[in-house]
Structure 1
Amino acid sequence: MADDVTLSPTEAIDLARTALMRVGMAETAAGALARATVEAETAGKPAVGFLHLTDYLRSLVDGRISGRAEPLITAPVPAIMRCDAMGGVAQHGFSIAHEELASKAKTFGIAVFALQNSYTTGELGWYAARLAEEGLVALAATNGPAVLAGAGGRQPVYCANPLAFAAPMADGRVLLIDQTSSATAFVNIREAAAHGEAIPETWALDQDGEPTTDPFAAMQGALLAFGGTRGANVALMVEVLAAGLTGANWSLDAPDFQAGDASPGCGLFVLALSPQLFADDFPVRLASQVARLSGDYGVHVPGIDRVARQQQAESTGIVLPRQLFDSISSFRRI
């Protein structure tokens, strides 16, 4: 639309970083979150890009995020890095640990990053993709406040509990799978509510545990897992990795990320593997296999257009609705 605002990636990062710092976030943390926000936007995931940035901004104002938090990183053994986000954001802790985590994975063949006590993690694929860009295979899992019903249940017991997987290819692209355990992400239901749109009845239950097409009723009820029991089992697996192993809040115990003044205390689990220690020609083999799957069999391979999308954003810019741009620009510390 004519009233939209077009920004270069550099300008978009500056917009996000400046807004975050205005409401009290330290510069280093603001820079990490700003870069993650812009990468989600350029990857074609606006629901966890600038739209989600407003959640961070409101939470900084309300006290759900500690803007001056400095993550505490320890290593109980060489191949494991533990991080207490101290009520801050996961992007900050991961950015601090990223270089050492990649180095450990290349040295030992495997390394783990386990984070607790953070706000929601944003685009989960961002964490896995950053490691794949370093030539590593990565698996990431995260949790948050309960919004998803478990197998056979009608009340929320898990977060949408996404799982992300990334692997490098010889041509510089990465294979990236990033999907929730729910039939859809919570932010998509919230967006439908904002636009007054109905949702498919396979997405959620209302407060009475009945399928609903009303997004407002869905937000008061529970999301449904993809594939029924199988999806719910994936959510439970993610819960054990992201909350159990990290020491973070179980989803049932996590405070609301949209209200109150307490951090959700989310967890993030990231596993990094060095493929060169398993198979020297892994990136070449994967690139060849992806070409065969997509070219000869018509298979959609997720994530491989991420680099191309980012390059396109460099030339054409990032387009934000004027209302969203003005909202982000207007945030001030009270």
Structure 2
Amino acid sequence: MSDEVLLDQSEAETLAIRACRAAGAAQSTARSLVDATLSAALFGPATLGFPHMLDYLDSFREGRINCHPTPTCERPFPAFFIADADRGIAQLGFDLALNDLAEAARTFGVAIFTQTNSYTAGELGYYVRRLAGEGLAGIAATNANAMVVAKAGGPAVYSTNPMAFGFPLGEGSLPLIIDQASSATAYVNIVAAAAEGRSIPEGWAVDETGMDTRDAARALAGALLPFGGRKGANLALMVEMLSAGLSGGPWSLDTPSFRSGNASPAVGLTVIAMMPGRPDDGLVERAHRQATRLQQHGVFIPGVDGIEYPKSPSQSLKVPRAVFETIKQIADA
């Protein structure tokens, strides 16, 4: 029996909506989460698609996510939006504000959305991918509970603190999307390695004693390392200030786990939307030409290379069998 299940997009979408609703989520929450999940499955890291949805489903049922939130959004400055997710999912608060955020960016050239009191933000590339779909460049930053040390032997003080950047490359092309953690790897990669009994590369994590480890299970009991040593730790601090600092959300040191307990992580998310020049500047086309030029030099263009586009609606999605069976069990309950 194959370790993967092939689902067409409509099948996967219907199953995911059913699972969210069965886990207690309101229709609006289910819709936003499934849109983000499909986006990750089609265009982002597969581990942040349906495998990560299991964290949400567990959290709906265990109280870490408010299943029926009422997000709010204030606009204290013309191009500055401050949202409260009401302990719901981060994607819903962002989706509700997206049209106004995009309109403000087109009017003022730049606009900022910052949100607190949400569950973990999921695939960060989703937010800048949505902006690119509106013809906007974007930067996004978020935090979660502390799981990264600033240096080997020290305490965990940051989350993986990812940052994402998106730039539209014009009609008929996927946008450039850079989405990476400040840690040496994403937390979900450690979880997957531990579940599959695989070792991890040296330099990814330390064990509970602060020593380098290649044992994924011991890494889960320990902490992740920043990439690039102090430089990576500095980026983690910058992301911490952009997300928790700008939103007023909890610092990673004060954030509850997004995988256990019944408290909302209540994390911060900041998204900056920017116009890529004036409509007649041709900067998007110029960026497309540069991306093509770099590809000809053998450069990998994230968000573009290795992704089939345009995708056929009949294209199947590969879902790990264990993930599929768990989601189906929840949906059928």
The TM-score bracket by the shorter chain reads over 0.9
Answer whether contact 2:151 2:225 (CA < 8 A) is retained: no
Say whether 1:12 aligns with 2:12. Answer: yes
Aligned to 2:250: 249
Q: Following the alignment from structure 1 to structure 2, what is the Cα–Cα distance between the partners of residues 206 and 67? A: 35
Between 1:315-324 and 1:21-30, the stretch displaced more is: 315-324
* 8 A Cα contact 2:152 2:225, kept in partner: no
Q: How far apart, CA to CA, are the structure 1 residues paired with 2:294 and 2:57?
A: 42
AA matched with 2:269: L
Q: Is the 8 A contact 1:143 1:267 kept in 2?
A: yes
Please give the residue correspondences for 1:57-206 in structure 2 after superposition, counting only pairs within 5 Å. Answer: 57-151=57-151, 154-171=154-171, 172-206=173-207
1:261 aligns with 2:262: yes
Per-residue deviation, residues 107-151 of structure 1 (Å, max 9, x unmatched): 110100101011111100010011011111100001001111114
Q: Secondary structure at the match of 2:65?
A: coil
Aligned to 1:38: 38
Q: For 1:240, give the aligned amino acid.
A: M
CA offset digits 1:245-298 (Å, max 9, x no partner) = 101110000001111000111111000011133971110110111111111x21
Q: Contact 2:152 / 2:211 at 8 angstroms: preserved in 1? A: no
CA distance in 2, matches of 1:311, 1:327: 30
**For residues 173-214 of structure 1, what are the alpha-carbon distances to aligned partners after superposition, in whole Å with 9 as ceiling and x for unaligned?**
211100000100011001000011111120001111110111
Q: 1:212-227 maps to which residues of 2 (within 5 A)?
A: 212-227=213-228
Secondary structure at the residue paired with 1:138? strand
Tell me, yes or no, if structure 1 residue 290 matches structure 2 residue 291.
Answer: yes
Distance 1:153 1:3, change over 3 A: closer
The CA distance in 2 between the partners of 1:332 and 1:300, in whole Å, is 39
SS state of the match for residue 315, structure 1? coil
Distance apart, 1:152 and its partner CA: 6.4
Counting aligned pairs with the same residue, the percent is: 45
The secondary structure found in structure 2 opposite 1:331 is helix
**2:275 alignment partner in structure 1:** 274
- Cα–Cα, structure 1 residues 212 and 2, in superposed 2: closer, same or farther, change >3 Å? closer
Structure 2 CA distance, aligned partners of 1:150 and 1:313?
44
Q: Aligned-pair RMSD on alpha carbons?
A: 1.8
Measure, in 1, the Cα distance between the counterparts of 2:332 and 2:140: 33
Rounded Cα–Cα distance in structure 2 between residues aligned with 1:4 and 1:206: 31
Q: CA deviation at 1:3?
A: 6.8
Partner Cα distance (1:208, 1:279) in 2: 58
Report if aligned partners of 2:128, 2:166 keep a CA contact under 8 Å in 1.
Answer: yes
Choose 167-176 or 56-65, whichever is displaced more: 167-176
Q: Against the structure 1 CA distance between its residues 2 and 203, is the aligned structure 2 distance closer, same or farther, given a 3 Å change threshold?
A: closer
Check conservation: 1:8, 1:313, Cα contact below 8 A: no
Give the Cα–Cα distance (whole angstroms) in 2 for the partners of residues 277 and 55 of structure 1.
41
* Whole-Å separation in 2 of the counterparts to 1:252 and 1:109: 35
Structure 1 CA distance, aligned partners of 2:318 and 2:304?
22
Offset of residue 316 of structure 1: 2.5
Contact 2:9 2:314 in 1 (8 A): no
Q: Say if 2:18 and 2:331, in contact at 8 Å, map to a contact too.
A: no
Instruction: Please report the TM-score for the alignment, with normalisation by the length of structure 2.
Output: 0.95
Is the 8 Å Cα contact of residues 154 and 222 (structure 1) preserved in structure 2? no
1:87–1:263 Cα contact (<8 Å) kept: yes
Measure, in 1, the Cα distance between the counterparts of 2:194 and 2:217: 6
| TM-score, structure 1 as length reference | 0.95
